Amino acid sequence: MVRDWTAVMPVKRLGAAKSRLRGAVPPARHGDLALAMVLDTVSAVLAAPAVGELLVVTDDPVAAAAVSALGARVAPDRPDAGLNEAMRHGADEVAGLGRPRAVLAGDLPALRPEQLDAALTAARSGRAYVADAAGTGTVLLAVGPGRPLDPRFGPGSAAAHAASGAVPLTGGWPGLRQDVDTPADLATVLGLGAGRHTCELLRELGIEAACVPAA
């Protein structure tokens, strides 16, 4: 398989990330949980055979250093104008229009490389998206060479992407579809099998019994 996809992942400053998830772990470790989920997502993306490069768009120095250590390329969020502008900047300006690009959420700690690979294979025909487990949000938006990304992330983004002409991808891919916004989402991820970084953090906090390490 040709490793020709550039994956793009925006990462907020850890102190401001995942506000609806607060309370899942002690307040002092909330940023650590956000980072652990990012690192598990990064690890899975970099292990996907179709991905040639992962570009993380962030202004958080701790996140930048951690994802760089795993092999991701880091770009600052120069627009500093929200999620969609960070994605557009990374995919269209930093990565460029010359190769296929896919933006995805950074809170997919149960993502498996083969699931991402299957989604990217299905997306090769044009601009496509993967809805989240609830069916209303978006966890991945992919676009082929020569086309702008045109992201529509935010409330109701699945419908917004469909209205913009993106094709919905219908594979099961539970780890790809299950992002983590709330404590209930985290419990679902643990049932699917979270990645090493999330598991190690939860184990440290005494939540080992609920965590099933990713295969």
Quick: pLDDT tens for 25-48: 999 999 999 999 999 999 999 999
Residues (pLDDT < 70) of the chain are: 1-2, 125, 208-215
Cβ count near 157 (within 10 Å): 22
Please state, in angstroms and as integers, the Cα–Cα distance from residue 16 to each residue in 52, 162, 189, following that order: 30, 29, 21
- Name residues whose C-beta falls within 8 Å of residue 181's C-beta, 6 or more positions apart in sequence: 18, 20, 21, 107
**What is the pLDDT, as a whole number, of residue 215?**
47
Q: Consult the annotation and say whether 43 binds a ligand.
A: no
Mean pLDDT of the chain: 93
Task: Express as a percent the part of the chain with pLDDT over 70.
Answer: 95
**What is the pLDDT, as a whole number, of residue 19?**
85
Residue with tokens 């294979």: 121
Q: Consult the annotation and say whether 98 binds a ligand.
A: no
Q: Consult the annotation and say whether 157 binds a ligand.
A: yes
**What is the pLDDT, as a whole number, of residue 209?**
45
Q: Would you state the structure tokens that stand for residue 86, as one six-digit string?
A: 């960070």
The CA angle 21-26-27, to the nearest 5 degrees, is 70
**What is the pLDDT, as a whole number, of residue 207?**
79
Please state, in angstroms and as integers, the Cα–Cα distance from residue 212 to each residue in 21, 39, 193, following that order: 20, 17, 5
Question: Under CATH, domain 5-204 is a member of which superfamily?
Answer: Spore Coat Polysaccharide Biosynthesis Protein SpsA; Chain A (3.90.550.10)
Cα 50 from Cα 26, distance rounded (Å): 37
- Radius of gyration of the chain from its Cα atoms, rounded to whole angstroms: 16
Where do the structural domains in the chain lie, given as residue ranges? 5-204
